[in-house]
Amino acid sequence: MQITDSIRTLKGVGEKVEQNLNKLGIYTIEDLMEFYPRTYVTYEEPIHLEDIIVGKRQAVFGWLQKSPSRIPGGKVEKTIAVLNEADKKLQLIWYRMPYLRKQLITGKNYIFHGVVKEKNGQWIMEQPEIYDLDNYRVIQSKIIPVYSLTEGVRQKLLAKLTRQIIDQNTLFHDYLPEDLRIELELAEYNYALEQIHYPKDWEMLKIARKRLAFDEFFLFALAIQRLKTTKESTNSSHIIKSKMWADSFLKSLSYRLTNAQLKSWNEIYEDLTSEKVMNRLLQGDVGSGKTVIAQLALLTIVESGYQGCLMVPTEVLAKQHYDSFVNDFKFLSKIIGHDIRIGLLTGSLSVKEKKEIYKALSSHEIDILIGTHAVIQDKVEFSNLGLVITDEQHRFGVNQREWLLDKGVSPHVLVMSATPIPRTLAIILYGDLDISVIDELPASRKPIKNCVVGTSYRPAAYNFVQNQVKNGRQIYIICPMVEESEFMDLENVIDYTDKLKKILPSNIRIEYLHGKMKNKEKEMIMERYYNKDIDVLVSTTVIEVGINVPNATVMMVENSERFGLAQLHQLRGRVGRGKEQSYCIFMQSSDSEKAKKRLNILVESNDGFYIASEDLKLRGPGDMFGIKQSGLIDFHIADLYQDSDLLKLAGECAKRYESHIPSDLLRRIERYMQLSENDIIL
């Protein structure tokens, strides 16, 4: 067996299974082995019904008094069994598994494993796993991998296939140069793969993870290195001589820049007037006012006769920036006597609309282009691109760099980010990147008031929401899911909106927003929210980054324990943007102490970097791959904060291979680059 073989060569993988695995990006043996578990679980001591805690995953002793019954109809067919013990009752429900009625034997003792929920005053456990007592003892001693799934791919399938490969005992070639591996005391590749899927114990898992995390950083560093040109000190062909427009624009603002904003703007202006190409990261926590700095830089570039481009991660954000730029520049246009021409380019434009934008760009009828990654498609040709700014993208990705090289232009580059990028990463990404920091919020801001509460607080929260709406304010409510799921008892946007409409008075305008909606619909909802035609917006995390509605004063997050702290911090950043006092309500649906402690970090601090690092300290080994710090910098297995030493090491080691890369490693780098091709936001 070769590691590059198709998964079709495995037993049990036919056309259908192959297609399903493809959906997860698994095509080859290698893809499969590198589809690492999302997390790991161990199985608890089984308990009796009387010790059940609602909302928790647990193993319950069960004696089947009666054989299970089948309930046809409804959306899906159910098989139901009931456990009785003293005065306690637990209903077990399986979906689409009619064969269980034959398989489960009346009068026998089992252990059922799953989450106990309360529905209509009854305890239920959906899709419990079934064990007999002996099996359970065996499994209890193991660490069980949990994979991310898609339709048609179950845990068992992934476990079975990876097992099949490991059991064949084929040793794959370790592409990491052996001397390096030994020097760094990293586990051998095959061993690491086995232990990541089937860890013997936590210690081995840690060792395996370290090796694979190193690999990920190392390949990343090598890939960047290969793309890096001598760009760092490229002479600039876009030299700026005046900032008259920027100065007039500043005067037209209703506020004064903070000292930190002023300092950053000065640093950027200095770059623009120097003979070298700017390569700068502008880091500032949510709400610190990065957009206005981008506007100043873009205005200055346009004043000197060049074009600028602002790239953002979502369509919603692109549209918001577009609207606010058009509006903000109105006054300045009057002063300078002509329009500043702004274009919006997103994936959802029609072909015809796109063509018009392309044409206007190449003939320099657009001064500033705002858009999603659609702006770096091949067809986009600027007439004279002088500045590229990325907002909330955290890195100017591999592809973007390539795109610029293809175009043969060396515009100034400004990367704006609210995520505190560790310095180690910045160095790998940009070599000697310059960094400006906005470490101060506008003085007019009142600190956001936070609370962590249980679901019993909901009526009070709704009252509060109602009052805020009465005072003309707007509200965000975040749910983790879009629609109801059979398997997860989490709040979802659609049902939640229905519920809320029944609870709140009918004059309160409630709408929802989520990523699966059509772009036009999303835009419409956001537009109505900006225009205060919507009071309460129930949304998934699509509004996480960048959105700016200063009149919104309440952020309420349902199932907040399900989110990473950095992500919650981003969400919180959507309020507290205006003069009014803002509030953040973290609704917690489990009563776990640990979850509470985590969430309390957010209450204690409003400092993004502090929050990210404290979160880390609280995460135990079981959480190792658990909650991502931020959905934005997405390494597979490695974690930028937790593994920053490893990242630094990988960066240093990559340098040794600058002039010569062993061929095995080269294949891996090329594969890595291919895989990240579509990931503009890596």
Binds 257: which of ligand ADP, Mg ion, none (CB < 5-8 Å by kind):
ligand ADP
* Shortest Cβ 547–ligand ADP spacing (Å): 8
Rg (CA), the chain: 27
Which is closer to ligand ADP, CB of 68 or CB of 284? 284
If the CB atoms of residues 122 and 444 are measured against ligand ADP, the closer one turns out to be 444
Out of 284, 343, 480, 608, name the contact with ligand ADP by CB under 6 A.
284
Out of Mg ion, ligand ADP, none, what residue 442 binds, judged by CB under 5 to 8 A for its kind, is: ligand ADP
Segment near ligand ADP (CB under 6 A); pick from 177-185, 253-261, 346-354, 469-477: 253-261
Residue closest to 81 by CA, chosen among 70, 65, 92, 71: 92
- Read off φ and ψ for residue 555, nearest 5 degrees: -115, 115
Using rule CB under 6 A, residue 442 touches ligand ADP:
yes
* Per-residue buried b or exposed e for 24-51, using 16+ beta carbons within 10 Å of the residue's own CB: bebebbbbbbbbbbebbeebeebeebee
Q: Find which of Mg ion, ligand ADP, none residue 287 binds, CB within 5 to 8 Å per kind.
A: ligand ADP
CA-nearest of 404, 505, 433 to 281 is 433
Is there binding between residue 589 and ligand ADP (CB under 6 A)?
no
Among 119, 134, 113, 117, CA closest to 42: 113
Residue 550 interacts with, from ligand ADP, Mg ion, none (CB under 5-8 Å by kind): ligand ADP
**681 touches 632 (CB < 8 A):** yes
- Report the site for ligand ADP in 446-475 (rule: CB under 6 A): none
User: Should residue 608 be labelled a site residue for ligand ADP when binding is judged by CB under 6 A?
Assistant: no
Report the partner that residue 668 touches, choosing among Mg ion, ligand ADP, none (CB closer than 5 to 8 A by kind). Answer: none
The Cα–Cα gap between 602 and 595 comes to 12
- Which residues here bind Mg ion, judged by CB under 5 A? 546
**If you search the block for the tokens 């899927």, which residue do you land on?**
197
* Residue 444: contacted member of ligand ADP, Mg ion, none (CB under 5 to 8 Å, by partner type): ligand ADP
Phi, psi (5° rounding) for residue 65? -80, -40
Rounded to a whole number of angstroms, the minimum distance from the CB of residue 293 to ligand ADP is: 8
The minimum distance between CB 316 and ligand ADP, in angstroms, equals 14
Among 109, 229, 444, 467, binds ligand ADP (CB under 6 A): 444
Residue 390 touches ligand ADP, criterion: CB under 6 A: no
Establish if 676 lies at the interface with ligand ADP (CB under 6 A). Answer: no
Does 264 help bind ligand ADP (rule: CB under 6 A)? no
Of the candidate spans 256-264, 371-379, 428-436, 558-566, the one that interacts with ligand ADP by CB under 6 A turns out to be 256-264
DSSP of 585-633 = EEEE-S--HHHHHHHHHHHH---HHHHHHHHHHH--GGGTTSS-S-SSS
673 binds ligand ADP per the rule CB under 6 A:
no
Q: Which of 522, 572, 577, 648 binds ligand ADP (CB under 6 A)?
A: 577
262 part of the interface to ligand ADP, by CB under 6 A = no
Cα separation, 651 vs 431, whole angstroms: 10
Per DSSP, the three-state class of 536 is strand
Structure tokens at 213: 């995390």
Nearer to ligand ADP (CB atom), residue 176 or residue 282: 282
Task: State how far the Cα of 18 lies from the Cα of 32, in Å rounded to an integer.
Answer: 11
**For Mg ion, the closer CB: 418 or 452:** 418
Least separation in angstroms between residue 529's CB and ligand ADP is 15
Minimal distance, residue 577 CB to ligand ADP, in Å: 5
Over the window 611 to 640, marking each residue x when it contacts ligand ADP by CB under 6 A and - when it does not, the resulting string is: ------------------------------
How many CB atoms neighbour CB 165 within 10 A? 21
Q: Is 288 in the site for ligand ADP (CB under 6 A)?
A: yes
Of 257 and 357, the one with the shorter C-beta distance to ligand ADP is: 257
Query: For the chain, what percentages of helix, strand and coil (3-state, to nearest 5) are there?
Result: 40, 20, 40
Residues 66-105 that bind ligand ADP (CB under 6 A): none
Q: Measured in Å, how far apart are the chain's first and last C-alpha atoms?
A: 31
At which residue do the structure tokens 């005391």 appear? 185
Least separation in angstroms between residue 290's CB and Mg ion is: 5
Binding mask 545-564 for ligand ADP (x = CB under 6 A): ---x-x--------------
Contacts of 281 (CB under 8 A, 6+ apart): 414, 415, 416, 417, 421, 426, 430, 433, 434, 435, 436
Closest distance to ligand ADP from the beta carbon of 639 (Å): 24
Quickly list DSSP for 464-507.
HHHHHHHTT-EEEEE-SBSS--SS----BHHHHHHHHHHHS-TT
Angle at 441 between CA 435 and CA 443, to 5 degrees: 140
Least separation in angstroms between CB 546 and ligand ADP: 6
| 576 binds ligand ADP, rule: CB under 6 A | no
Q: Does position 331 bind ligand ADP by CB under 6 A?
A: no
- For ligand ADP, which residue has the nearest CB? 289
H-state helical runs in 24-154:
29-33, 100-103, 133-140
- Give min distance, CB of 213 to ligand ADP, in A: 30
CB atoms under 10 Å from CB of 113, counted, come to 21
Beta partners for residue 82, in sequence order: 91
- 623 C-beta neighbours (distance < 10 Å), count: 14
The residue among 288 and 410 lying less far from Mg ion, judged by its C-beta, is: 288
CA–CA gap between residue 297 and residue 257 (Å, rounded): 14
CB of 464 to ligand ADP, least distance (A): 24
Q: How many residues bind ligand ADP (CB under 6 A)?
A: 19
Q: Does 266 bind ligand ADP (CB under 6 A)?
A: no
Q: Which region among 114-122, 201-209, 241-249, 283-291 touches ligand ADP (by CB under 6 A)? A: 283-291
Select 128 or 546, whichever has its Cβ closest to Mg ion.
Answer: 546
Give yes or no for residue 255 binding ligand ADP (CB under 6 A).
yes
How crowded is residue 226: how many other Cβ atoms within 10 Å of its Cβ? 16
Which two tokens mark 86? 């003293």
Closest CB to Mg ion among residues 361, 584: 584
Q: Which positions touch ligand ADP (CB under 6 A)?
A: 255, 257-258, 261, 284, 286-292, 418, 442, 444, 548, 550, 573, 577
